[in-house]
């Protein structure tokens, strides 16, 4: 018998037709295992003789006999309960066929188809499998993939019929399955599947001219994708002649089959209802968005703590940038709200318990503005974890401000009322503690009085309540207590003084002030403020008496007394002595300034300056003034005393002046006597100094005669001593500075006698007799002139010299000329200081007021000493000759 699967090819010559060629065992085993279907040999008892790998994988049966196999395997082979094979005719082509599902160990249940054939005993078979009796050849095929493909086709057909979906699959340019409406320019025509609705049948073919212009671009994209086999999806509108405007959604999806062929699936859905619903929803959404954006309230949709969407007013209220709130967590959105996280948690907890939640929140905006908003949240749906809710914010800042203002006004009103009541109570308490009597009188009489008034009137408040205040008035008809309530206008005040008669019979004076006002009921009432001035009147009387006594004392005192205002320095009061000093009647001097009382400007300025200085000092200020009264000089010692209350600046200035003319004249006479006595003593001293110096000069001359080798030096010293003696001789006859002319003449005469020389003295200038030498400068200048004249005599060729005194407006020049000659390169700066000659002259000359100059002339040498103030001085024009200063004469500069 031939194998149903054929025989493997054999090399060599082809056998004759119908001849059985034995198959080599190895080739047969290779062929047996390479069959893609499951293949197995079994004997008549059901024992598995041989099975390939595919058979074991499909059935899970590897060895043994059918009686011991799984029930599913026995059912697949048709193995009967009695252990018999199904009736199969050996050698028949059809055999036994069965389809069943097997449960494999991996959990899968493949659908298998088994075909069983019986082979005759003795037929062809491999030697290793040879056995006596009938054997069975079994083939098994897996039908799972075919079943799944058929099921998918059934489901796809049902889905397309139920959802009006067209589907076409293209292999290259040939459709393999066609039911959708696709673009008419696609590579293949469109065939609509049977059983589709009539509407889908009408849409079985779409041409380009049916597409509305706005959708041409999308339609062209679908055509291009179908042609190129590219994936795309497009929604486009068509205008059908029967159905009107319809919207279609076409999706193109390329792919490859299991055999590697290119396939493109095109799915088209009629989405007209969906598009119309979408357009309607978009219109509603636009209208709703317009309404929400136009609303003054901030509206937001929340899901748990997640903000899904909100209008711009909601963002504006929270101080957020436009479009930045959606998609954020509410804890971040509420960052500008005080206690924002706590508020969010409270709202979520409340919405889990109830459908609505309301509160008022305060928001601090980025620009530091504060706003108040009413928050109302409504839950949507059941209270789940992520609860959905709508939150509405309403601006209540103005209302809140008004509420706060009203609350503040109410609180202020309450505080004002409380303060008024407290103030009234305090006022009564204060009024009870003052010494001024306060009485309130209405139409029905006395209504209230303080403690001082009760003490004045001599009774308690209950004793006077309801009585007219005139009960304590004296018998005068015009007494202020009788008619003020009717006579005064409202708000008008009236001041008076009157006598009051107390209940105990006391009579005393009071000063009062009455004011008409209205009480809380609008009725007129008079408030009296009364002050007991009985003691004040007694004090005023005593003060007036004391003032009159003081005035009499002031008028009779030999002192000049003036009282002035501290600010203006005007006279407030003065006695007769002070008026006599000014020469102005006392009544006319009141109110005058110092400039008005003293015609001399210098005196008036001095008086004003002294008064201002006295006001700046709290202690008495003492001054002395010299005045000319009736052509006679008089001296007055004045004392200024500022008058002020404690802790206050002075408001008055008291001037008390005493005539000290006699004392000052006596002191002046005594001083003049002392000065005259001193001058006599000074002249006597100068005379004795001169005599002593001349005696010293004589002694030095005697020494020079006895010691000729020292004669020259001693003669120079004698000349210096004689010069000093000449100065003291001049001072004996005069006091104070010496005339320059007299000093020069005396020195020239002394040198002439000492050296027996000729000295020509010349005076130039009209001011020669005016220039004076101060006492301190006279001896140094005299010694300098003596040295210069001595040098001129010593160095002259003819033992003579000329001395010229030249006086100008500003200086005095003393020029000494001789017939000598200066050595080459001579300079005064090289002459050292010494006790003789030019060294002594340089040392003695005052540096700031005298200078020395040596210069050659046509016939000799000229030495010039220039003196300028203060080394020399001129008296002021019209001034009296200066008196001696009384200073000690200094022989050498200190």
Q: For the chain, give the percent of residues with pLDDT over 70.
A: 81
Among 28-32, 40-44, 215-219, 580-584, the range scoring the smallest mean pLDDT is 28-32
Strand 652-659 and strand 621-629: the pairing is unpaired
Contact 205, 304 (CB under 8 A): no
Cα 275 to Cα 164, 238, 345, distances in angstroms: 15, 12, 41
Q: Compute the Cα dihedral for 453, 457, 461, 465 and give only its sign.
A: negative
pLDDT at 570 > cutoff 80: yes
* Among the listed residues 190, 192, 196, the one whose alpha carbon sits nearest the alpha carbon of residue 164: 196
pLDDT at 796 > cutoff 80: no
Tens digits of residue pLDDT in 74-126: 888 888 756 677 777 777 777 888 888 888 888 788 888 888 888 876 444 44
Write down the pLDDT at residue 877.
Answer: 60
Cα 176 to Cα 161, 169, 197, 264, 282, distances in angstroms: 18, 5, 22, 10, 40
Q: Compute the Cα dihedral for 795, 797, 801, 802 and give only its sign.
A: negative
Q: Compute the Cα dihedral for 60, 66, 67, 71 and give only its sign.
A: positive
Alpha carbon distance 219, 207 (integer Å): 10
pLDDT at 394 > cutoff 70: yes
Tens digits of residue pLDDT in 607-653: 889 888 888 888 888 888 888 777 778 888 888 888 888 888 888 88
Rounded to 10°, the helix 775-795/711-732 angle is: 140
Contact 270, 180 (CB under 8 A): no
Model pTM score: 0.32
pLDDT level of residue 18 (50, 70, 90 thresholds) = very low
pLDDT level of residue 680 (50, 70, 90 thresholds) = low
pLDDT at 685 > cutoff 70: no
Helix (H, G, I), strand (E, B) or coil at 582: helix
Write down the pLDDT at residue 587.
Answer: 83
The alpha carbon torsion through 741, 742, 745, 749 (nearest 10 deg) reads -170
Q: Compute the Cα dihedral for 478, 479, 482, 486 and give only its sign.
A: positive
Tens digits of residue pLDDT in 737-756: 878 888 888 888 888 877 77
User: Running DSSP on this structure, what letter comes out for residue 95?
Assistant: -
Alpha carbon distance 281, 894 (integer Å): 123
Cβ neighbours for 732, distance < 8 A, ≥ 6 positions apart: 683, 686, 687, 690
Which of the given ranges, 252-261, 333-342, 471-480, has the highest pLDDT on average? 471-480
Write down the pLDDT at residue 447.
Answer: 87
Better-predicted residue by pLDDT, 725 or 658: 658
Cα 2 to Cα 121, 427, 480, distances in angstroms: 14, 142, 164
Write down the pLDDT at residue 182.
Answer: 42
Contact 264, 172 (CB under 8 A): no
Better-predicted residue by pLDDT, 37 or 21: 37
Write down the pLDDT at residue 95.
Answer: 80
Tens digits of residue pLDDT in 856-871: 887 788 888 888 888 7
Radius of gyration of the chain (CA): 75
The tokens of 427 are what? 């006022």
The tokens of 192 are what? 């609509």
Write down the pLDDT at residue 20.
Answer: 53
Alpha carbon distance 117, 101 (integer Å): 20
User: Running DSSP on this structure, what letter comes out for residue 82?
Assistant: T
Tens digits of residue pLDDT in 688-730: 666 666 677 777 777 777 777 777 677 777 766 766 666 665 5
Write down the pLDDT at residue 833.
Answer: 64
Question: Average pLDDT for residues 260-289, to the nearest whole number?
Answer: 83
Write down the pLDDT at residue 169.
Answer: 62
The tokens of 581 are what? 């000093």
Write down the pLDDT at residue 53.
Answer: 85
Better-predicted residue by pLDDT, 80 or 600: 600
Tens digits of residue pLDDT in 353-387: 888 888 888 887 776 677 788 888 888 888 887 88
Write down the pLDDT at residue 243.
Answer: 82
Write down the pLDDT at residue 193.
Answer: 39
pLDDT at 558 > cutoff 70: yes
The tokens of 415 are what? 């505080």
Q: Compute the Cα dihedral for 570, 575, 581, 582 and give only its sign.
A: positive
pLDDT at 13 > cutoff 60: no
pLDDT level of residue 10 (50, 70, 90 thresholds) = very low
Question: Average pLDDT for residues 38-56, to the nearest whole number?
Answer: 86
pLDDT at 478 > cutoff 50: yes
Alpha carbon distance 834, 840 (integer Å): 5
Write down the pLDDT at residue 894.
Answer: 25
Alpha carbon distance 36, 833 (integer Å): 152
Domains defined along the chain, listed by start? 25-142 (3.30.450.20), 148-277 (3.30.450), 295-395 (3.30.450.20), 434-537 (3.30.450.20), 557-659 (3.30.450.20), 671-867 (3.30.565.10)
pLDDT level of residue 885 (50, 70, 90 thresholds) = very low
Tens digits of residue pLDDT in 773-791: 887 777 788 778 888 888 8
Question: Average pLDDT for residues 566-587, to the nearest whole number?
Answer: 85
pLDDT at 12 > cutoff 50: no
Write down the pLDDT at residue 210.
Answer: 87
The tokens of 473 are what? 């008035």
Better-predicted residue by pLDDT, 419 or 699: 419
Question: Average pLDDT for residues 332-346, to the nearest whole number?
Answer: 78
Q: For the chain, give the percent of residues with pLDDT over 90.
A: 0
Tens digits of residue pLDDT in 500-533: 989 888 888 888 888 888 877 778 888 899 888 8
* Among the listed residues 244, 158, 156, the one whose alpha carbon sits nearest the alpha carbon of residue 203: 244
Contact 510, 533 (CB under 8 A): yes
């Amino acid at each position: 018998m031939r194998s149903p699967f054929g025989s493997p090819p054999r090399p060599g010559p082809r056998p004759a037709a119908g001849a059985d060629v034995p198959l080599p065992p190895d080739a047969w085993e290779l062929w047996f295992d390479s069959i893609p279907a499951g293949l197995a040999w079994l004997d008549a008892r059901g024992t598995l003789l041989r099975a390939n790998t595919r058979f074991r994988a499909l059935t899970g049966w590897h060895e043994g006999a059918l009686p011991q196999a799984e029930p599913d395997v026995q059912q697949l082979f048709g193995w009967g309960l009695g252990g018999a094979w199904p009736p199969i005719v050996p050698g028949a082509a059809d055999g036994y066929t069965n389809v069943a599902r097997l449960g494999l160990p991996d959990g899968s249940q493949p659908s298998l188809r088994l075909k069983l054939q019986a082979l005759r005993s003795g037929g062809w078979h491999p030697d290793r499998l040879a056995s006596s009796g009938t054997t069975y050849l079994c083939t098994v095929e897996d039908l799972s993939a075919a079943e799944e493909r058929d099921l998918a086709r059934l489901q796809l057909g049902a889905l397309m019929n139920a959802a009006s979906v067209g589907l076409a699959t293209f292999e290259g340019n040939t459709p393999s399955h066609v039911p959708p409406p696709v673009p008419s320019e696609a590579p293949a025509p469109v065939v609509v599947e049977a059983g589709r609705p009539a509407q889908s049948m009408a849409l079985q073919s779409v041409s380009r001219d049916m597409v509305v212009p706005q959708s041409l671009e999308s339609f062209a994209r679908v055509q291009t994708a179908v042609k190129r086999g590219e994936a795309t999806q497009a929604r486009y509108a068509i205008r059908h002649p029967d159905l009107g405007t319809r919207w279609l959604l076409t999706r193109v999806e390329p792919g490859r089959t299991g055999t590697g062929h290119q396939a493109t699936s095109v799915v088209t859905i009629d989405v007209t209802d969906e598009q119309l619903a979408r357009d309607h929803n978009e219109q509603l959404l636009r209208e709703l968005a317009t309404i929400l954006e136009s609303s003054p309230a901030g509206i937001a949709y929340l899901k748990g703590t997640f903000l899904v969407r909100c209008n711009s007013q909601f963002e504006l209220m929270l101080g957020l940038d436009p479009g930045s709130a959606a998609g954020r967590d509410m804890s971040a959105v509420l960052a500008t709200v005080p206690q924002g996280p706590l508020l969010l948690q409270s709202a979520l907890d409340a919405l889990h318990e109830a459908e609505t939640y309301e509160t008022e929140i305060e928001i601090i905006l980025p620009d530091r503005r504060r706003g108040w908003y009413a928050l109302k949240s409504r839950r949507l749906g059941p209270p789940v974890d992520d609860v959905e809710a709508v939150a509405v914010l309403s601006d209540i800042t103005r209302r809140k401000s008004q509420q706060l203002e009203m609350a503040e006004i109410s609180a202020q009103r309450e505080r004002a009322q409380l303060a008024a009541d407290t103030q009234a109570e305090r006022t009564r308490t204060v009024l009870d503690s003052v010494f001024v009597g306060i009485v309130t009188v209405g139409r029905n009489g006395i209504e209230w009085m303080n403690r001082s008034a009760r003490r004045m009137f001599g009774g308690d408040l209950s004793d006077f309540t309801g009585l007219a205040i005139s009960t304590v008035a004296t018998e005068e008809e015009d007494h202020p207590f009788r008619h003020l309530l009717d006579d005064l206008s409202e708000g008008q005040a009236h001041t008076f003084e009157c006598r009051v008669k107390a209940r105990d019979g006391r009579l005393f004076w009071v000063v009062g002030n009455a004011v008409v006002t209205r009480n809380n009921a609008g009725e007129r009432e008079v408030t009296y403020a009364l002050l007991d001035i009985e003691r004040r009147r007694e004090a005023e009387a005593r003060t007036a008496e004391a003032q009159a006594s003081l005035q009499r004392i002031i008028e009779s005192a030999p002192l000049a007394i003036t009282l002035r205002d501290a600010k203006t320095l005007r006279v407030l009061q003065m006695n007769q002595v002070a008026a006599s000093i000014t020469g102005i009647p006392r009544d006319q001097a009141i109110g005058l300034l110092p400039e008005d009382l003293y015609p001399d400007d210098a005196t008036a300025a001095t008086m004003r300056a002294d008064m201002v200085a006295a006001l700046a000092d709290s202690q008495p200020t003492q001054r002395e003034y010299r005045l000319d009264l009736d052509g006679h000089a008089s001296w007055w010692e004045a004392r200024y005393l500022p008058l002020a209350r404690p802790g206050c600046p002075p408001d008055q200035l008291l001037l008390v002046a005493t005539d000290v003319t006699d004392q000052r004249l006596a002191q002046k006479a005594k001083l003049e006597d002392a000065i005259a006595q001193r001058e006599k003593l000074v002249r006597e001293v100068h005379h004795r100094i001169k005599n002593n110096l001349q005696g010293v000069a004589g002694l030095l001359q005697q020494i020079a005669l006895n010691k000729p080798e020292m004669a020259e030096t001693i003669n120079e010293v004698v000349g210096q001593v004689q010069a000093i003696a000449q100065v003291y001789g001049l001072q004996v006859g005069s006091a104070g500075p010496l005339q320059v002319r007299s000093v020069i003449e005396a020195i020239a005469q002394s040198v002439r006698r000492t050296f027996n020389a000729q000295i020509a003295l010349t005076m130039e200038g009209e001011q020669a007799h005016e220039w004076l030498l101060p006492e301190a400068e006279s001896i140094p200048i005299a010694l300098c002139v003596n040295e210069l004249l001595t040098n001129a005599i010593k160095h002259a060729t003819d033992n003579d010299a000329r001395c010229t005194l030249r006086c100008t407006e500003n200086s005095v020049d003393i020029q000494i000329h001789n017939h000598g000659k200066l050595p080459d390169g001579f300079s005064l700066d090289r002459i050292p200081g010494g006790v003789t000659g030019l060294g002594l002259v340089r040392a003695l000359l005052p540096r700031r007021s005298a200078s020395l100059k040596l210069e050659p002339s046509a016939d000799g040498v000229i030495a010039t000493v220039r003196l300028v103030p203060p080394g020399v001085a001129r008296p002021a024009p019209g001034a009296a000759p200066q008196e001696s200063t009384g200073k000690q004469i200094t022989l050498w500069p200190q």
